[in-house]
């Protein structure tokens, strides 16, 4: 057995690197197809128009993939995601509360950049309050965490639903347009501020990247290895909240997409190291969003919504992971 360890250690990184290279090639192929297929008229207009949408889709793929992988690292569980723990319901509640208390003018007339920053601040604050007691104390069972996430999700949706029923029909219609996930009509007015936030979060996370693999060992082991566990977990959760807020502000709430790409990345890699899982998850997200949107537009002529397909596949992966976990 000991003699096999060196060969295994030498075998796994090349496999991971090969998978990442293949995913990168598929991602580049998806990008090229998205930018060129069906292009007519002036290339300067086509490239500028599609380029903004492409950048937004890549940004969403990056934000969702990184936030999901790091959230699973903090929770030490590969099933939980921010959305499953009620983050999407929290987004719905924040949007509904803004319309309920301040009116539809907030969505129509207010500076989208100021509104976006307000949403990010609210969601980050709520998320830290929501997750603090769940993941900073003693380790809790998977069933308890899922149950808590479901309860919070139901509470947020019920409160949002109550306020939505009081709204007048016109305000309700405006709100529904903001709550439905859409990859066709990405809000590109928020693109540059979203890029700035994602870059800032990435640089901040890069400084503590050496702790990611240590956190997967568990709370006790991480503390024994010198990690300031509570401070590190709170910091990662705040960064996760910002990334999820960016993705939901651009395309709307998506529940199972992060679980889909993170699970596929680990399955393809056969590896849990963050230096492999993070780039593979991002590349899979780009392939799914950019490639899927290309196929949807050029082959199926918008006969269905990409968010429906992504959520359906992600939901199947979630059920499969639950069943496999229960069978062990």
Taking the C-alpha atoms of residue 182 and residue 123, their distance in angstroms, rounded to an integer, is: 20
Taking the C-alpha atoms of residue 50 and residue 56, their distance in angstroms, rounded to an integer, is: 10
Q: Could you give the percent of the chain with pLDDT greater than 90?
A: 15
DSSP 276-318: HHHHHHHHHHHIIIIIHHHHHHHTSTTSS-HHHHHHHHHHHHH
Of the candidates 247, 195, 226, 288, the one whose C-alpha atom is nearest the C-alpha of residue 71 is 247
Does this model's pTM top 0.85? My answer is no
Q: How confident is the model at residue 182 (pLDDT cuts 50, 70, 90)?
A: low
The ranges assigned to domains in the chain are 57-327
Taking the C-alpha atoms of residue 91 and residue 97, their distance in angstroms, rounded to an integer, is: 10
Per-residue pLDDT tens digits for 11-67: 445 778 898 999 999 999 989 888 887 767 676 767 777 888 888 889 989 999 999
Instruction: For domain 57-327, give the fold.
Output: ABC transporter involved in vitamin B12 uptake, BtuC (1.10.3470)
Taking the C-alpha atoms of residue 241 and residue 125, their distance in angstroms, rounded to an integer, is: 8
pLDDT, residue 122, reads 76
Q: How confident is the model at residue 282 (pLDDT cuts 50, 70, 90)?
A: very high
Would you give the DSSP letter of residue 222?
A: H
Retrieve residue 312's tokens: 């359906």
């Amino acid at each position: 057995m000991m003699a096999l360890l060196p060969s295994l250690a030498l075998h796994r990184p090349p496999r991971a690197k090969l998978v990442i290279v293949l995913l990168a090639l598929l991602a580049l192929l998806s990008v090229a197809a998205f930018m060129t297929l069906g292009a007519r008229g002036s290339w300067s207009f086509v490239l500028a128009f599609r380029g903004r949408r492409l950048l937004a889709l890549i940004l969403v793929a990056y934000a969702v993939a990184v936030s999901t992988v790091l959230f699973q690292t903090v929770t030490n569980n590969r099933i939980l995601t921010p959305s499953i723990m009620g983050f999407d319901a929290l987004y719905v509640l924040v949007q509904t509360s803004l319309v309920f208390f301040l009116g539809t003018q907030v969505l129509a007339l207010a500076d989208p950049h100021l509104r976006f920053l307000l949403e990010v601040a609210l969601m980050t604050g709520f998320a830290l309050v929501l997750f603090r007691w769940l993941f900073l104390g003693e380790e809790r069972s998977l069933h308890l965490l899922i149950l808590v996430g479901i309860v919070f999700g139901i509470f947020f949706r019920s409160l949002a639903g109550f306020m939505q029923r009081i709204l007048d029909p016109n305000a309700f219609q405006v709100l529904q347009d903001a709550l439905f996930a859409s990859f066709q009509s990405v809000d590109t007015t928020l693109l540059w501020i979203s890029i700035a936030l994602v870059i800032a979060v990435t640089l901040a996370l890069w400084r503590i990247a050496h702790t990611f693999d240590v956190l997967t060992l568990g709370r006790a082991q991480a503390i024994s290895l010198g990690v300031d566990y509570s401070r590190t977990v709170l910091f990662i959760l705040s960064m996760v909240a910002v990334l999820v807020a960016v993705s939901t502000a651009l395309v709307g709430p998506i529940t199972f997409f992060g679980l889909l790409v993170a699970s596929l990345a680990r399955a393809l890699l056969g590896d849990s190291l963050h230096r492999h899982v993070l780039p593979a998850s991002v590349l899979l997200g780009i392939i799914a969003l950019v490639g899927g949107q290309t196929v949807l537009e050029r082959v199926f002529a918008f006969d269905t919504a990409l968010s429906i397909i992504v959520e359906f596949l992600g939901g199947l992966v979630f059920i499969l992971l639950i069943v496999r976990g229960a069978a062990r």
